[in-house]
Structure 1
Amino acid sequence: MTNATATKLHYDIVGSFLRPDNLKQARAAQKDGKISLADLHQVEDQAIRELVAKEKAHGLKIVTDGEFRRSWWHLDTFWGFDGVKRIKVQQGYEFHDEETRPESAQVSGKIAFNPTHPDLAAYKFLHSLTADDSEITDRQSIPAPAQLYAELTRGPENLKALAKYYSNEDDLITDIGQAYHDLLLALYDAGCRDVKFDDCTWGMIVDDTFWKNRISDGINRDELAGRYLKVNNAALADLPKDLRVSTHVCRGNYHSTWASSGGYAPIADYLFAKENVQAFYLEFDDDRSGDFAPLAKVAADKDVVLGLVTSKRPELEDPQVLIKRVKEASQYVPLEHLSLSTQCGFASTEEGNKLTEKQQWDKIELVVATAEKIWN
C-alpha cells in the first residue's frame, strides 16, 4: 500500500457515493424500530463490499467505504467524540433553494477522543477488504477540526453551552486539536495511511454574503482564518511521516445544491501557504470558485487535486475543456503536482445528489480517462 498512489495516477475521488436503495430502506427501518442496529450493520457491510468491488472495477486505486455508515458527512464524526452531543435545532443548514434536516452538535463536557469512535470502527472494516491488495490504498475521510470548532460556535445556544466548559478560546482549540490528533493516531494504528479532512469552513469564509451576516459578531476574516488554521494544524502536529493527510475545501454539497461562493484569494495566505497537509482538493467546477490565480500561494511540493468535474449534475463535461483547464492551472502549480477529480462526493449526506448510480460511475470514468490523456 502506497501513499504516492494519487500523485502517480493523477486521478482521484473525494469519497462519498450514492447510497443504494436497500441501504436507505434498511436505515429507515432501523430508525422506525423494525430492524436492529446489528441488522443495519450487516446491510452496510454488504453494501460496502459491493462498492469497493465497483471502485476497483472502474480503475480506482484509492477507495473509500462511500461514507455508507454515515447520515451526515460531518455530524456523525462530531457525535463520536466525548464531550459532544447530538441536538435538534430550529433551523437546518441553509443551501441554495433548500434547507437540511435540523440537527447539530453541541458541547456537553470536555472534548476528547473516544476509543470506540465510529470512524475508527468504519475504517477497520474497510481495511479488512483492502489490506491484502498492494495496489489499493484505503482512505478515511473525516470533517476537519475547524469544522467542529465552527459547529460548536454556531448560534447562541451552542455558545452558551460552550461557556459552561470552556472559559477561553485556547483551551477549546487545544482540546479539539488533541481529540483529532488521537483519532488520527488510532486510525494509523489500525492500518490507515491516507486521511482526508473535509472542510466547509474555508468555503464559507470566502463568501461575501456570509460575511455581511457576521459583521455584527465583531470578527474579521483574517482573525477567523487564523483560528481555523490553528485548530487544524494542532491536530496535524507530530504525526507519523508515512501518514498522508489532505484536505478538501467544500462549498456545500446537499441534494445537488450549494451553500457558498467566492474565490480562494482571501484564504490563500492561510490555507495554501500554511496548513500542514500534503494535498488540497479544490472545487473548480463552476464560476463560484473563482480563477486559478490563488494557487500560486500553494506551498512548494504540495499537491492540488482539481475538482473540475461536477458531482451535482449528470451531464458529462467535455474532456477537451477539462484538459484546457488543467493546462491553465499548471501556470501556478507544476503539472506533476496536479490531479483531476470530481468537485465533491456524490452523497455528502444520505439524501445524495440528483443523479443515478450509472451517471455517478460515468463521471468517475470521465475523470480516469481524461487524466490518462493528460498525464500519460
Structure 2
Amino acid sequence: MTTSTTFTKRTNSPFRADFVGSFLRPAELANARNLHRKGLIDDLQLKQVEDKCISELIAKQKAHGLKAITDGEFRRSYWHLDFMWGLNGIEHATREHGYYFVGIQTRNDTAVLKGKISGENHPFVEHFKFIQQFAKDDPSVIARQTVPAPSQVVSTLINLRNSEFTASWKEVYQSEEELIADLGKAYQQVFADLYAAGCRSIQIDDCTWSILLDPELVKTNHIDVERVANLLLKANNAALENKPEDLVITTHLCRGNYRSHYFGSGPYDSVAPYVFAKENVDAFYLEYDDERSGSFEALKFIPEGKQVVLGVITSKKPELEDLDKVVARIQEASQYVPLDNLCVSPQCGFASTEEGNELTEQEQWDKIDLVVKTAQKIWHDA
C-alpha cells in the first residue's frame, strides 16, 4: 500500500471512517428520561432536552471527523422496539423475563401484534427531520436514519425465542407470508416518507442472524436454519423493493449488544450464503472485533461491487486498540473484498439501549478518533 494509490471518493454511506449509529446518553438526557417516566416532566419538556442533547452530539460527530450524522438514537429506549411500537398494528408488551445474554438479562419489554401492520405516520420520520436540518446546508455530511431490520420484527412477532406471544400473530394473519407482505409494505412506506424528508441513507440493524450462526443457540432453540434463514431473507428483501435508486440502504449484522454483553457467537459462514449473497442491500456493517466473529473467509460470499464496513474496533470495552494492528486486520480482509470496497467502524453502537455500554464518553470518542485515524492511514481520506 502506497500513498499514490487512488481510492474511490465516498459521497454517501458507507464512509471510510464510519460508525453504527448509537452513542452513550449524556447524564442530562438520562435524567430527563427518568423524570419523564415518573411523570415529573411532560413530553414537550423531554423533547426539549432531547433536541439540545442531539444538537450537541451532532456538533461532536462533525468535530471528530465523521461524515454521517445520526441522533445517536437519543429519542429511543431500545435500538429496535421503539421502531416496532411506531408501526401501526404493533404494541408494547412485557414478558415474564428479559432475553438472556451471556452474563446478563435484558429488560422485559417486547412487541406484540394487535392488528394489520402498516407504516403510515411513523414517528421516526419526524425524528429524522430534526437531524436533516444539520446536513441540509452542510455538504460535508449526510444524515442517516437507523431502523431495525424487518427480520427483527419477524423474529419478535412470529417467534424465534419469544414463546409467550407466539400465537398472537395468528389471530391477525393466516400465514407467515401474509404477515411478511404487509410488513414489507409498511417498511416501504416508512422508507418513502423518510426519502421525502430528504433521507438518502438508511441502516437496517439486524441481530436475527446471530441466532443462526451460533450452533448452541440453534440446538437449544431447535431451529431449522435453512427455513428460518429464507424467512428472514424474504422479510428483509420485501422491504427493499421499489426503493429509489439514490437511496442507499445498508445493514448492520450484530451478535447482540446490551450493556457490553453479547448474545451469540460464531463465524458468518453458515449464514453468508443467504444474507451476504442474497440480501439486496448496498453494504454490510459487520462485527469483527474479537474471536467470536471467526475469520474473514465468509466475506467471499459478498457480491462484487458491494461495500463492507469492518467493525474491528470494539464498542464493548474501553481499552483502545492498536492502530497498526487494526490496519493489519483490514489488510487481511482485503484478501476477500477489494480494499477500495472496505471501510472501518466500531463493531456496534455504543448504546444499543439507553443504558449504554460500559465505557466513558471520552473513551467512546477515543474509539471514534481511532476509526478516523485508521481510515486516513489506509485510504488517505476519511
2:210–2:265 CA contact under 8 A, matched in 1: yes
Structure 2 residue corresponding to 1:30, chosen from 21, 24, 36: 36
TM-score, structure 2 length as denominator? 0.95
The one-letter code sitting in structure 2 at the alignment partner of 1:89 is: R
Q: Deviations over 1:288-338 (max 9, x none)?
A: 011000100001100000000000111000111111110110000000000
Correspondence for 2:137: 132
Q: Does 1:118 align with 2:123?
A: yes
Structure 1's 3 and 173: CA in aligned 2 closer, same or farther, altered over 3 A?
farther
2:233–2:274 CA contact under 8 A, matched in 1: yes
The one-letter code sitting in structure 1 at the alignment partner of 2:17 is: Y
- Residue 212 of structure 1 and its aligned partner are, at CA, apart by 1.1
Q: Distance in 1 between matches of 2:177 and 2:164?
A: 20
- Residue 374 of structure 1 and its aligned partner are, at CA, apart by 1.0
1:246–1:279 CA contact under 8 A, matched in 2: yes
Which residues of structure 1 form unaligned runs of 5+?
Answer: none
Correspondence for 1:143: 148
Structure 1 residue corresponding to 2:178, chosen from 159, 171, 182: 171
Structure 1 residue corresponding to 2:363, chosen from 354, 359, 364: 359
- Residue 94 of structure 1 and its aligned partner are, at CA, apart by 1.1
1:205-354 to 2 correspondences below 5 Å: 205-215=212-222, 219-354=223-358
Q: Distance in 2 between matches of 1:125 and 1:30?
A: 21
SS at match of 1:360: helix
1:18-97 to 2 correspondences below 5 Å: 18-97=24-103
Correspondence for 1:369: 373
Structure 1's 149 and 233: CA in aligned 2 closer, same or farther, altered over 3 A?
same
- Residue 163 of structure 1 and its aligned partner are, at CA, apart by 1.3
Q: Distance in 2 between matches of 1:163 and 1:15?
A: 34
Q: Distance in 1 between matches of 2:364 and 2:152?
A: 27
Q: Distance in 1 between matches of 2:167 and 2:327?
A: 50
Identity of aligned residues (%): 49
Q: Distance in 2 between matches of 1:308 and 1:157?
A: 36
Q: Distance in 2 between matches of 1:40 and 1:11?
A: 32
Q: Distance in 1 between matches of 2:131 and 2:184?
A: 25
SS at match of 2:261: coil
Q: Deviations over 1:77-132 (max 9, x none)?
A: 000011101001101111111111101000000111131x1211110111122211
The one-letter code sitting in structure 1 at the alignment partner of 2:50 is: E
Q: Distance in 2 between matches of 1:312 and 1:187?
A: 30
2:13–2:248 CA contact under 8 A, matched in 1: no
The one-letter code sitting in structure 1 at the alignment partner of 2:168 is: A
